[in-house]
Chain A
Amino acid sequence: MQIIQPHYHAIARTAQDYERMAMSGVVAVAEPAFWAGFDRLYPETFIDYFRQISEFEPTRAAQYGIRHFCWVAVNPKEAENPTLTREVLEHFPEFFAKPTVLGVGETGLHKSTKNECESLEAHVEIAMKHGQLVLIHTPHLADKAHGTKKVLEVLAGLKVDPERIWIDHVEEQTIRPCLDAGYWVGFTLYPITKCSPKRAVDMLEKYGHERILVNSSADWGPSDPFTLQECILEFRRRGHSLQEAIEVFHNNPCRFLGQNPKFDIQPIRVETVGTAAVAAE
């Protein structure tokens, strides 16, 4: 089965990940800009990072037949330095012009401070001004519900197209208001601290497949890109068809990310030929 991993921090992972992902059907990954584990001090550090994910990383993925796309952002954890944020934002348009940059992300909130909210606003505004997609991080653990509510409040005060915005890391207590407001949502599968594959399938069964993305994140912390495949297995094991799995784990990323024409991978349908099912495309 062909799979798209829509949230994957490739620079934190080894080539072995790419090899195993390719062997398990992953055809594309999208890499949002991430926190480095420490707060960066210089705009140039971000610019080199954006060059790494938009220029070098696609070549590494290509060795395994995987398409690599990316996003640019100042991480919410680094938003307490508004001057730095402004200086980095000034460079976004040059990256929007690059062939694999899909938009602005992951912006969002961490502690939901005033500076973080202003940074989120600035990120969304520059994305909308340049016709870019937006990927929004919502806080972890205890701050999840409050931070997600705050994200929705910030977005409600801006002129945005909800269909071009993906609110990530939703869980059972935050999914409904995000979907009701018309946004795309993402389930992030982590071994311990976010959503589990089983709970993700529970939510797919409850809320359907529309405007839902499933991803593993997979970064330098305790994480595992193959929780995505684990989720697919759980989904199929519960009796959902191959086409339904393709809709969620391949076609939905195509639908959301494909709003940026640079993401040119098309949704696929399974055709039945005689008794054998083959992929039409």
Chain B
Amino acid sequence: MNAYVVTVATLVAIQSIVACGLNVVVGYAGQISLGHAAFFGIGAYASALLTTKAGLTFWTALPLVIAITGLVGLLLGIPSLRVRDDFLAITTIGINFIVEAVFLYVPFFGGALGIGGIPRVTFFHVKMKGLPYLYLCLAFLALVLLVCRWFTRSWAGLACFALREDETAAASMGISPVRFKLLAFVLGTAMAGLGGALYAHFMRFISAGDFSFPVSVMLLSMVVLGGMGTLWGPTLGAVILVSLPELFRPLLEIRFLIYTLLLLLMIRFQPGGLLGEASLVRRVFSRLMPGKEAPR
């Protein structure tokens, strides 16, 4: 594999991790979020600061990074207890702008210059770059997918699904809306934190613009495109949305036009996402391999 392909693949793996986290919030618990990039950024900045300023290694910083992001996710998840749907979407957009502004204007976070000189991840004294780093990201992605799979089969996952379907009915079944919305926010933002840390040590230079509102839109597009609430959907969405702009690179300006058109077509014809219920992919799969369940 040449370096370019490895770079794109690494970004796909990182974005998949972050999109999986968003899927926990949006797909499993039904809480719309258009500010997920904020948590991606919090993870990246936390890891960057802990390794450059506090002198920790990636591995010792990682548990802290995940804890910090999850904790901030818990605090910023509180609005979701009071507002719903469009209002929650707007609130989460606001969170994204505030977090980005903090990174941009507070000198501690490097201001407009961002943070540079972020060390590479070392693994048994070997500096990881290129292919080994891709494998590391894929290993973390596998871990995230396992956690998602476990979550969807747990009682907590069932409680989140019930909340997504009908909050009132769920509450009268003894499911606490507060507890499970916040649980989904913590789990989802912690995954974003992990993705952020991997991103920081891959790029080795980060600035506030990397985690701006359009990134949140892109992440939500990945989840919607792949199929909200499915296991593999966010990863598939990340593969498509990260690699398509690369494939269309020769088309220069109009590549985003094509990209937008694809999204619109998806919304019109496959609202459940590529791996959603009764989607084209699932129907083709069941025709090709009768009796076998398509991946979800």
Partners in one complex: no
| A interface, CB within 8 angstroms of B | none
| B interface, CB within 8 angstroms of A | none
